[in-house]
Amino acid sequence: MKKPLVGIIMGSQSDLRIMKEAAQFLEDIGVPFELTIVSAHRTPERLFEYGKSAASRGLKVIIAGAGGAAHLPGMVASLTTLPVIGVPVKSSNSIDGWDSVLSILQMPSGVPVATVALDGARNAGILAAQIVGAFDESIGQKLASFKEELKEKVLESAREVETKGFK
């Protein structure tokens, strides 16, 4: 098994229903990753250990998903120089997800977190692969193929609509 390049962390097991989309994309494109639960509020020592050791363990980027107050992405970003991608998760205790979005989006100067859409773990996986792919030609080529497939799907849909019309 290859050494993980991307770390995927989430605040609780209930976030896995969303965060697995990042893992699935990375697996599909061949980017090695690790996945675990790290709660900013319930396991702060684990958070500190994870954030402080991430770069020395070979990770290149961290995807952090959290709901509610959603402190996990920002806290891990404060502990590492690696890029952190925050995934706001609409959780059961959430205010329509806005609390999570704003908690991740509104980081103070000096502690940036790239933020994807609410429940946007797949895009977080794509962005993480793009970061890794900027320095790994084989991943970059797989991403180019992925983007070409997206283009072809749209063109196929366009042809279908143009041929069949609106009915």
What is the pLDDT confidence band of residue 129, given thresholds at 50, 70 and 90? very high
Residue 1 clears pLDDT 80, i.e. is over it:
no
User: Is residue 136 part of an annotated ligand binding site?
Assistant: no
The CATH architecture one would assign to domain 6-139 is 3-Layer(aba) Sandwich (3.40)
Strand ranges in 4-141 using DSSP code E only, listed in sequence order: 6-10, 33-37, 61-67, 84-89, 114-115
Answer whether 57's CB lies under 8 Å from 30's CB: no
Is 12 among the annotated ligand-binding positions? Answer: yes
Q: What is the pTM of this model?
A: 0.95
HSE-CB at 136 with a 13 A cutoff on CA atoms is 16
Enumerate the domain spans of the chain.
Answer: 6-139
Are 50 and 59 within 8 A, CB to CB?
no
What is the reported pLDDT for 150?
A: 97
Per-residue pLDDT of 14-68, as tens digits, reads 999 999 999 999 999 999 999 999 999 999 999 999 999 999 999 999 999 999 8
- Helix ranges restricted to H, the chain: 16-29, 44-53, 72-79, 98-105, 121-133, 137-164
pLDDT digits (tens, 9 = 90+) for 73-123: 999 999 999 999 999 999 887 788 899 999 999 999 999 999 999 999 999
| pLDDT attached to residue 69 | 86
Of the ranges 92-106, 122-136, 148-162, which one carries the lowest mean pLDDT score? 92-106
62/82 Cα distance (integer angstroms): 7
Backbone φ and ψ of 142, nearest 5°:
-65, -40
Residue 165 to residue 20: CA distance in whole angstroms: 37
Among positive and negative, which fits the CA dihedral 33, 34, 35, 38? negative
User: 15, 66 in Cβ contact below 8 A?
Assistant: yes
Q: What's the pLDDT at 93?
A: 79
